[in-house]
Amino acid sequence: MMPLIEILTPKNLNEVLSILSNHDKVLKIIAGGTDVVTGLKQESNRFIDAEILIDINHIAEVKGIEQRNGKISIGAATTFTEIYKNQIASKELPILKKAVSTIGSLQIRNRATIAGNFVNNAPCADTVPALLIYNATIEIESINSKREISLQEFLQGPYKTQLKKDEIVTRINIPVPPKTFVGDFYKLGRRQAVAISRITLAVLMELKENNINEIRIASGAATPIGTRFPDLEKFAEGKVVNDNFLRSLASKIGDEIIKLTGLRWSSEYKLPVVQQMFYQMLNRMTKRIK
């Protein structure tokens, strides 16, 4: 049942920050509402205490996509449809675009926002692995402070982040990777649309004469939250790409996931599939580069 909640619609970021500085009430920011509204309806503990919802859909400071100083800056309340249709994002961040295209349905993409995806920090958040391999950083503001940290650092655990009560994520900044980098995104769901991810994988790499110069690997849904694999990346760097190596890299992700996740009811399915599909993905990518 939907509780009675006050909804505020501030006109600019300063108003948002001043509302957030009021500690007497339980406040929640709402943008697309695809997590908040469903969470309220399902009486989720994460939302049910909310007394005030702050609607940030009309705050210019947290909207839009721009390119400056080699970075692409995406406003926190930019919808997935806006990202998908944006020319800069499409050209410079194809992996993010692919991740965005797999989310929910058109109706959900029309409402759901990029920051909402990682502020909610569900294990299955589709854009998180893509943002992680792009080394995304996020700007966080409160009435008294402003900080920029890496997304990886921001994410703490399932449905947990560093965000403090008086803070709001305003922008996501993504350094544009050099043209020599290639990447891909993979999602497995139980169906082809409106599917919660069972496994997501994102990879970005640069080859130099068939050697891996740099590789970034992230997964979601198979791990407790979207995660990079630093050990795996270190293991891969400098290695010659051949089929044997790709197989050993793919089986190593199995090890890494067991370390992070432990064995769960779903491991019997997810572990083999993540290795298999990671291998298939690496194979496709390296073939494309060659």
Partner 1 sequence: MKNLKIINVRFFAQTSSVLRMTGRELMKKKFSVVGTNVIREDGFDKVTGRAKFADDYKFDGMLHAVMLRIPETHAKINSINYLEIENDASIISIITSADIPGSKKVGMIKNDQPIFCDEVVVTPGDVLAMLVGEDVSRLRSALSKIKIDFSPLPVLTDPKKSLEPDAILIHPELGSNLIIHHPLRKGNIEKGFDESDQIIEQTYTTQLIEHAYIEPEAVIAIPLGVNGVKIIGSIQNPFSARRIIAAVVNLPLDKVQVIQAQLGGSFGGKDDIMCILSARAAVAAIKVNRPVKIRYTREESILESYKRHPYILNYKVGFTNSGKIKAMKIDILADGGAYCSMSPFVTWRSVVQATGPYEVENVHTDVRAVYTNNPYTGAMRGFGSPQPIFANESLMDEIALKLGITPYEVRKINGLKAGSITATGQKLQNHDVNLLTVLNVAAKDTDFLNKWKKYKKDKSIVKKYDFTKSVFNDSQFIEPDQLIKKGIGLAVSYRGCSLGAEGIDAAACYLSFQNDGTAYLLSGLAENGQGLRTTFSIIVAEELGITTDNIFYLETDTSRVPDSGPTVASRATLMGGGAVKNAAEILRGRFEELIQEEWKLKSEDEIVFRDNKILTTDNRSLITFKDLCKLAASRGINLSTIGWYKSPNVDWDEHTGQGDAYFTYVYGCQIAEVSVNLGTGEVYLDKITAVHDPGTVINKLGAEGQVYGGVTQGAGYGMLEEVTTENGLIRELNFDQYLILTAKDIGEIKPIFVEGKEIYGPWGAKSLGEPTLELTAAAISNAVSNATGNRFFNLPLNLEEVLLGKKLRPVEVKRGSLR
Instruction: Based on the shown chain and the rule CB under 8 A, indicate whether residue 7 belongs to the binding site for partner 1.
Output: no
Instruction: Based on the shown chain and the rule CB under 8 A, indicate whether residue 188 belongs to the binding site for partner 1.
Output: yes
Report how far residue 28's alpha carbon sits from residue 55's, in angstroms, rounded to the nearest whole number.
9
Q: Are 59 and 12 in contact (CB under 8 A)?
A: yes
Pick the piece of the chain touching partner 1 (CB under 8 A) from 57-65, 109-117, 185-193, 229-237: 185-193
Q: Which of 70, 157, 158, 238 binds partner 1 (CB under 8 A)?
A: 158
Q: Which is nearer to partner 1, 170 or 219 (CB)?
A: 219
Report how far residue 145's alpha carbon sits from residue 141's, in angstroms, rounded to the nearest whole number.
6
Q: Which of 99, 122, 136, 215 binds partner 1 (CB under 8 A)?
A: 122
Q: Which of 68, 179, 244, 262 binds partner 1 (CB under 8 A)?
A: 244
Q: Which is nearer to partner 1, 93 or 249 (CB)?
A: 249
Report how far residue 167's alpha carbon sits from residue 248's, in angstroms, rounded to the nearest whole number.
43
In this structure, what DSSP letter does residue 61 have?
Answer: G
Q: Which is nearer to partner 1, 135 or 266 (CB)?
A: 266
Site string for partner 1, 27-56 (x = CB under 8 A): -----------xx--xxxxx----------
- What string of DSSP letters covers 196-230? --SEEEEEEEEEETTEEEEEEEEEESSSSS-EE-H
Going by C-alpha positions, the residue among 288, 72, 80 that lies closest to residue 183 is 288
Cβ-Cβ contacts under 8 Å for 248 (sequence gap 6 or more): none
Residues in contact with partner 1 by the rule CB under 8 A: 1-2, 4, 38-39, 42-46, 105, 122-123, 158-159, 188, 190-196, 198, 244, 247-248, 250-252, 254-255, 258, 263, 265-269, 271-273, 275-277, 279-280, 283-284
